[in-house]
Amino acid sequence: MFRHDDDAMSEQATESRMTALEAARNKMAEMRDQGIVIKKRDPYQIAAADPKSLRKAVNAKCWDCQGGGADPNTRQAVGQCGITDCSLWPVRPWQEAVG
Ligand code: SF4
């Protein structure tokens, strides 16, 4: 019974994320249609804009550790990081990108 409830909550969370993602994509398309140039910030810039955020600091550190975007697959490289004794390893970003 609890497992069934957990599955239902997980499906709701996934649907909620998809809805948020679709909403963000729609908003970006709308902005592009209005001629607004959308600048994508890298994890360094995101962390610099919010220096008290530990999540953003970890993201920036792992981004830096894996080449700072020199490789187009930096996020995947972080997700696949094999340095398990690194203190950031359990909380590194983009783990879901590995699959
Ligand atoms: S978890 Fe991996 S990518 Fe992140 S800082 Fe540690 S060694 Fe680098």
Interval 50-64: pLDDT, tens:
999 999 999 999 999
Element (H, E) at 23: helix 2-33
Task: Look up the domain containing 26 and give its range.
Answer: 1-38
Say whether both 31 and 72 belong to one domain. Answer: no
Q: Using a 6 Å CB cutoff, which residues line ligand 1?
A: 61-62, 65-66, 78, 81, 83, 86, 88-89, 92
Q: What is the pTM of this model?
A: 0.68
User: Does position 39 have pLDDT exceeding 50, yes or no?
Assistant: yes
Higher-confidence residue: 15 or 25? 25
Same domain assignment for residues 32 and 64: no
**Summary mean pLDDT of the chain:** 88
Identify whether residues 59 and 75 lie together within a single domain. Answer: yes
pLDDT value, residue 1 = 46
**Distance in Å, CA 86 to ligand 1 centroid:** 6
33 and 58 inside one domain: no
Q: Is the torsion defined by CA of 46, 79, 88, 18 positive or negative? A: positive
Residues 32 and 70 reside in one and the same domain = no
User: Mind listing the pLDDT tens digit for each residue in 70-85?
Assistant: 988 999 999 999 999 9
